[in-house]
Structures are given as C-alpha cells and as structure tokens.
Amino acid sequence: MKYVLVSGGVISGVGKGIIASSTGLLLKTIGLKVSSIKIDPYLNVDAGTMNPKEHGEVFVLSDGGEVDLDLGNYERYLNITLTRENNITTGKIYQHVIEKERRGDYLGKTVQVVPHITDAIQAWIERVAKIPVDDSNEEADVCIVELGGTVGDIESMPFVEAMTQLRHRAGKNNFLNIHVSYVPTINGEQKTKPTQHAVKSVRSAGLIPDLIACRCERPLERSTIEKIAHHCQVDVQQVVAVRDMPTIYQVPVLLEEQGLIPLLREAFKIQDAIPPAMVRKGRKIWQQWKSLTVTQDHYYEQVNVALVGKYIELHDSYLSVIKSLEHSAMRCRRKLNLIWVDAEHLEPATRQSDPAKFHKAWHEVCTASGVLVPGGFGQRGTEGMMAAAKWARDNRTPYLGVCLGMQVAVIEYARTMCGIADATSEEFNAKATDKVIVFMPEIDKATMGGTMRLGLRPTVFQPGSEWSRLRALYNNAPEVLERHRHRYEVNPTYIERLEQAGLTFIGKDDKGERMEIVELKDHPYFVGVQYHPEYLSRVLDPSRPYLGFVAASAGCLEQVTANLNTDGIDSPVNGVNGAANGKDF
C-alpha cells in the first residue's frame, strides 16, 4: 500500500479536500486503484450529531455511516464507495482503545497516547486502506489520507505522530506528504512567510513535506515559487500553485498541468508496473473528465433554480445537493444559477416584520425555473417550504423535494387537496391530531447518535407507475438503491386519501410499507423522495432525481431522458441496483 498524506498549514478551509481528491483522481487516471481516509481530530465519534450550520452537511455512506462532508468529495471524484471506517475521529480511536483497555487487552500496562493511541491509529489506517472500494473488488494501490485542521493544533498531535511512524513503516517510495499552505497577496505582493513558518512547524513535528501545494488567488510568480523552494529546502518542482479556478472540477487539470503526475510516478517509483487494461481505463476517465468539466460554462444558457432551505447561511450545509445540481447542469449543458432562499422569509410573519425580505424571497421563488426543497430537521421554516411547494405545484414549476422537502410537499397536498386543514408532521407538533408525517416505529427516541433510518435501502417502483418521469430517468429500473437519513415517514393511514386526491406514491420500500417517492402525473416535474439521492451523485453520473429536476427546469427533460445512454458517456445508471456503489465509470 502506498500512502499520500495531505496535511494543512497556515489556515484550514482553503480546499485541502479538493486537492486531496484531485490528487486521487490523477492517480486513477494513470490506472491505479485509489482509496481514501479522512481524519477529523474532533472528539465526536461521528459527524451525525453536529449542526450543519457549523460544520457543513453530514454526509451519509451506503453502510449508514454519518461522516464528514469531505468523504463525499472522495466518492464523487474517485467514484468509489467508502465505509464509516474511512472516517477516523479522535472519538472513534479513543473509544476503541478504551474498550480494549476495559477488556483487559493491555493488562498490566499503563495505557498512553504514545504508543497505544498512535499504534491504534496506524493499525486502523492500514486495515481500512485495504477495504475494496470499487468494482474491481480488490485492494487499492494507493490510499489518500487527509488530516483535518492544521498541523500544530493540539487535537491533531497524536495523528501527526502516528503519521511520522507510518511513513517509516510504509518504507521508501511508499509514502508522500502533500502539505497544503496558503499564499496571501498583500498590496499586490505574494507573501511567502506563512508558508515558510507552516513548513517549519511541519518539519519540527517530524513530517517531511514532499510537495508544497500553495493555495492562492492568482498564479504564483516564478520568484514566489523560487523563494518558497529556497526557504523550505525543496526543489521548485515540489512547489505547486493551486490558484482559484472557475470551478473546483478544474483543479485536477491545473495540477496535471503543473506536472503532478510525473512527480507522483517518480515519488512512488511506478513506471511501467500498471496493467495495460487499467491504463486504458484511466485514460478514458481523464478524457471524460476533461470534456465535461473544462469546456463547460461560458457559452451555456443559464438555468435558475431556487433552493428553499433553512441552513442557507452556510452553503456547505447543502454541499451534496449543490454538487448534484452542478453535475446535472453539466450534463444538461447549462450554467447553474443557484438562488438561495431562506424558507422563513416566505412566511407571513416575515411579511409583518420585514416586508422587503418577504417580497424579495417571493420574487425569487416566482421567477425561478425550478424550486428545490432539501432535507432538514425541526419546524423552523417549514411553513415557508410548504408555500414554495404549493407555488410550484400550482404554477407547473418543476419541484424536487428531498426528505423533509418531500414531507412538506405531502403535508401541503393534504391541506390543500384533501381538505385536512391542520395536517402536519409529528416532528413539528407532537400533539397534533392530523399527523400526516409520523415518527417511524423502530426509531430510538432516547439516543441521538446513529439511530435514524440510515444508509442504502431499496425502493421498488409500484405497478402502474410506468408513466413516471423519474422512473424513466432511472432507465425504467424496477428497483433502485439510494441512501437514507430520516426519523419520520408518511403516515400510512393517510395514503389512500392522498392517492385518491391525485398524489401518487410510485415508489415504496421492499415491504411496501414505507413511502419513498411521490410524483404528480399532471405536472411537468413534481417529485418528492424520502431518500437523499444527492449522496450518490457523481461528476460523470449525475443523480437521476436531480438530473430530471434540472432538465425539467431547463426545458430539456424529454431530450435528456431520451439521450441518457447515447450521449457518449457510458456510465452506469446511478442508484439503479446500486450501480454507483462501487461500479467504475
């Protein structure tokens, strides 16, 4: 196993994850099998209990793991399926070591950070790196290990120590450290001091940066690169400039242009050892990537989509949703114009307190070509979401409701079309009489961590759903597999009334008990899904419910559906029989 450690200095949040995923993609394009591990030095066991407004979205894996959103980047860029174990947190490592201590595994010993925690980290990485993540079902050749935060943080010290040991254990030509730094421009001058200090502190922690990836706004001047190389005792080729790009999909191309591939080949001493079939496969991935991501944008028509949500202050709260829209827009050859609408601004209370906000929000919804209501928790903003769903339904504007977005669409339908005026969700009002959305019976009410209905589960298209636009997008598959994350569901006792009023539940779980997809027949595209299709969207294989939504908003749904398998991108159908779960491009 070869390892690429991606660490950060100066500041976090400058795109370490994208650099790490892009490096992984480049390794894939030369024919290697790539896996990845993300280390988050916080104490939470997993990301499931963290507020999306603080940490960005919780990403959900097929095995139900609730993990850091960076794992989503890896799955999307590398088209792989990771497990919950691919996200290491301090909480997980300590839990593991403490359990061993209680069992008596270290009997007689004093259990310490070094060596017990650091050994546990290395053993974890070595074990998880070997789990097959793609359709080859074989161990990967390279594992990208991304260390969250910056080197020097108190929390990350045991991980840094473990990495220095792992470098030694992995042996020569098997370990490479990319250190991501930041080069600010002050009064027109590119400043290298923060990078110099960052590299110094990485060295004193025992790591050896083999590549210094400098985030910067503009291309680095030759003199800046030389200065960094000189002060950090590396060759100029080892300094890579990662400037802001029009889209993050162009970062792999930028890295390739700067000679990253020969550098990686040299560092890992991989010259001709890759099987020709894998080399061909890699080349094809690269071609597809470039043709889809580089030529896009400037001359495409715009598609205006309103995202009506409650965590809109931090766009990362909806990262996978945005990515799915981007993937879909690329496939539709449109430029995505995403309009952020705070659901609360659509509510009557805002009309009173801040009429300007209210009217602005409504103007945005009314002029958008499509309305999307994503997932969420709690009651705040849900009346605004229902109003947006009603607008879309009444005005034949394409609508996609995801999880909570599906639930509010069902409640709105019950209120308006079935005359159940007080219809609501148990989540919003536990004492209500007409709970059209209820708590799922098997869900644990007392424990919050990891207790929702999570992960990959089947949805079966129901007899008589042949007309469904969504089903056609899934290539008329009888059954699809998508990832879930919810506690509430449509109350079975209301289904008959809803269906009689015209809302069809065209997809249910394999037992036929759980409502998974609603769709309106007499509407250009009105779809609600209880699952989260955004978690399986891939750059080269967009999520089908999103693709349909963007295509309908852009007025090209029929064409996109008809061309699904003939538009030159022979990818598997995302979500169908788990196709995106490890199947390669």
Residue positions annotated with a catalytic role:
403, 532, 534
Torsion sign over Cα 195, 200, 205, 206 = positive
8 Å CB contact between 24 and 78: yes
What is the closest distance, in whole angstroms, from the C-beta atom of residue 417 to ligand GLN in the complex?
Answer: 22
Burial of 112 (0-12, 13-18, 19+ CB in 10 A): exposed
Nearer to ligand GLN, 94 or 377 (CB): 377
Phi first, then psi, for residue 484 (nearest 5°) are -120, 160
Nearer to ligand GLN, 289 or 488 (CB): 488
> How many CB atoms within 10 Å of residue 85?
17
What is the closest distance, in whole angstroms, from the C-beta atom of residue 376 to ligand GLN in the complex?
Answer: 5
The H or E element spanning position 87 is strand 87-89
| Radius of gyration for the alpha carbons in the chain, expressed in angstroms and rounded | 25
Burial of 517 (0-12, 13-18, 19+ CB in 10 A): buried
For the CA atoms of 288, 292, 294, 296, the dihedral, rounded to the nearest 10 degrees, stands at: 160
Output the CA angle 382-383-389, nearest 5 degrees. Answer: 85
Q: Which has the closest alpha carbon to 147: 44, 293, 37? A: 37
From CA 148, how far away is CA 129, in angstroms rounded? Answer: 17
Phi first, then psi, for residue 246 (nearest 5°) are -55, -40
Nearer to ligand GLN, 485 or 583 (CB): 485
What is the closest distance, in whole angstroms, from the C-beta atom of residue 462 to ligand GLN in the complex?
Answer: 21
What is the closest distance, in whole angstroms, from the C-beta atom of residue 61 to ligand GLN in the complex?
Answer: 15
Q: Is 6 helix (H, G, I), strand (E, B) or coil?
A: strand
8 Å CB contact between 139 and 33: yes
What is the closest distance, in whole angstroms, from the C-beta atom of residue 372 to ligand GLN in the complex?
Answer: 13
What is the closest distance, in whole angstroms, from the C-beta atom of residue 532 to ligand GLN in the complex?
Answer: 7
Nearer to ligand GLN, 122 or 451 (CB): 451
Beta strands in 115-207 (DSSP E): 142-147, 175-182, 185-186, 189-190
Residue in this structure with the two tokens 């061993």, named with its chain if needed: 100
What is the closest distance, in whole angstroms, from the C-beta atom of residue 364 to ligand GLN in the complex?
Answer: 22
From CA 414, how far away is CA 427, in angstroms rounded? Answer: 16
Nearer to ligand GLN, 376 or 578 (CB): 376
CA within 13 Å, CB half, 75: 31
Nearer to ligand GLN, 41 or 533 (CB): 533
From CA 61, how far away is CA 392, in angstroms rounded? Answer: 31
Tell me which amino acid residue 196 is: Q
Nearer to ligand GLN, 33 or 486 (CB): 486
Q: Which residue intervals of 137-249 are DSSP H helices?
A: 157-170, 193-204, 222-231
Bridge partners of residue 339, in order along the sequence: 306
Nearer to ligand GLN, 151 or 490 (CB): 490
Residue 537 neighbours by CB under 8 Å, 6+ apart = 76, 320, 323, 324, 327, 328, 543, 546, 574
Q: What's the length of the chain? A: 585
Chain contacts with ligand GLN (rule: CB under 6 A): 375-377, 403-404, 427, 485-488
Residue 47 neighbours by CB under 8 Å, 6+ apart = 40, 55, 58, 59, 66, 67, 68, 69, 87
From CA 401, how far away is CA 494, in angstroms rounded? Answer: 19
Nearer to ligand GLN, 150 or 425 (CB): 425
- Which residue's beta carbon is nearest to the bound ligand GLN? 375
Using alpha carbons, list the distances in angstroms from residue 179 to 147, 152, 379, 392. Answer: 10, 13, 43, 47
Residue 254 neighbours by CB under 8 Å, 6+ apart = 242, 243, 245
Q: At what angle do helices 118-129 and 90-103 cross, to 10 degrees?
A: 110
